[in-house]
A = this chain, B = another copy of it.
């Protein structure tokens, strides 16, 4: 490491480190001539302030930590992309951790980011996270925390924290309403893991759409499945084995819908002729299936930007007494052939 330090510059110029520091900053009380001399030499020697030293001095880093269940999920990768962009604009760097859908690891990663003294942390709960002690502990020690997408299913008093979420219920409502409008009579829902905000929200939207249309929500058509392709497969099998199988299926997300799709193909059933199928998330894959899948676009990049924005505004300060804010990102129904009645 041939790092140039303030002292090096100071030595060469016959100045003190403090003067050099002030000359490079916006500080008043430094003559224009020294300011110029310092800047010239700094550029010439390629001086880069040591962020580690700065962080120690300022008691805060310029690092934003992010914890997601799995980077490889298209949705989370897109969110991270949005976060990274917003952070970059604001001069922050982004540190990524995966919880691997594991509550213990989530807590570990949270602690690790706190040990790194991240300025703030963005977190989306793992599938397994049922208790929020680690979040409360983090908040208690002054960590700036913002949750996104998967947040506690029930508003936990005493857990006052900013959140950026999709309007899951509205998105699910739109899908279900669309299926009703297309004339499907037996609409099933492959729900996500219970107790998770997005599962509950989407389930709620599904039920509300049926209720508002005076439809009976048949309990055998509401199946707690899961987020994965395998979950979608087993869920779909269960639905098809019913005495009266559904004529339309709304899956909690695209991977589950893909699982369902494969089962339908395997059984020789035609989409949408025999069974209509819709997902949620608008993963790249959903538009490429044959037929392409109706789904809901969640604007994941915007979720990331918005979540980062909430965090950055807290970091600016002045919001200490403002309780948890909630930003809702609007989703969009994407209608494709998988739910369009031929006639």
Q: Which A residues have a C-beta under 8 Å from some C-beta of B?
A: 1-3, 46, 48-53, 55-56, 59, 61, 63, 70-72, 74, 77-78, 80-81, 84-85, 88, 93-98, 111-117, 140-142, 258, 261-262, 265, 284-285, 288-290
Q: How far is the CB of A40 from chain B (nearest CB, A)?
A: 19
What are 17 inter-chain pairs, A to B, with CB distance below 8 A? A2-B140, A2-B142, A3-B141, A48-B115, A49-B115, A51-B116, A63-B95, A72-B78, A74-B77, A77-B77, A80-B96, A84-B98, A93-B97, A94-B95, A94-B96, A258-B288, A288-B288
Among A48, A61, A71, A261, chain B packs the most CB atoms within 10 A around the CB of A71
Pairs A-B, 4 closest by C-beta atoms: A1-B142, A290-B290, A77-B77, A285-B285
Copies in the complex: 2
Q: Is B71 a contact of A77 with CB atoms below 8 Å?
A: yes
Q: Is A52 a contact of B49 with CB atoms below 8 Å?
A: no
Give Cα distance in the complex from A261 to B59, angstroms.
Answer: 54
Q: How far is the CB of A278 from chain B (nearest CB, A)?
A: 16
Cβ contacts under 8 Å, A98 to chain B: 81, 84-85
Give Cα distance in the complex from A284 to B2, angstroms.
Answer: 45
Among A61, A74, A140, A284, chain B packs the most CB atoms within 10 A around the CB of A284
Give Cα distance in the complex from A59 to B95, angstroms.
Answer: 20
Q: Is A81 a contact of B71 with CB atoms below 8 Å?
A: yes
Q: Which residue of B lies closest to A113 (CB)?
A: B93
Cβ contacts under 8 Å, A285 to chain B: 284-285, 288
Select one of B48, B84, B116 contacting A93, CB under 8 A.
B116
Cβ contacts under 8 Å, A55 to chain B: 52
Q: How far is the CB of A186 from chain B (nearest CB, A)?
A: 26
- A-B contact sample (16 more), CB < 8 A, given A50-B115, A51-B117, A71-B71: A2-B140, A46-B141, A50-B117, A52-B56, A71-B77, A71-B81, A71-B84, A74-B74, A81-B98, A84-B96, A84-B97, A93-B95, A261-B288, A265-B290, A284-B285, A288-B288
Q: Which residue of B lies closest to A60 (CB)?
A: B1
Give Cα distance in the complex from A117 to B61, angstroms.
Answer: 12
Give Cα distance in the complex from A51 to B65, angstroms.
Answer: 14
Q: Is A93 a contact of B112 with CB atoms below 8 Å?
A: yes
Give Cα distance in the complex from A333 to B299, angstroms.
Answer: 34
Cβ contacts under 8 Å, A140 to chain B: 2
Q: How far is the CB of A150 from chain B (nearest CB, A)?
A: 18
Select one of B50, B115, B284 contacting A51, CB under 8 A.
B115
Q: Which residue of B lies closest to A78 (CB)?
A: B72
Cβ contacts under 8 Å, A59 to chain B: 1
Give Cα distance in the complex from A70 to B78, angstroms.
Answer: 10
Q: Is A61 a contact of B71 with CB atoms below 8 Å?
A: no
Cβ contacts under 8 Å, A112 to chain B: 93
Q: How far is the CB of A280 from chain B (nearest CB, A)?
A: 17
Give Cα distance in the complex from A80 to B92, angstroms.
Answer: 20
Cβ contacts under 8 Å, A78 to chain B: 72
Given contacts A96-B84, A141-B1, are A74 and B72 in contact (CB under 8 A)?
Answer: yes
Give Cα distance in the complex from A3 to B143, angstroms.
Answer: 10
Give Cα distance in the complex from A55 to B261, angstroms.
Answer: 51
Give Cα distance in the complex from A303 to B191, angstroms.
Answer: 35
Q: Is A61 a contact of B52 with CB atoms below 8 Å?
A: yes
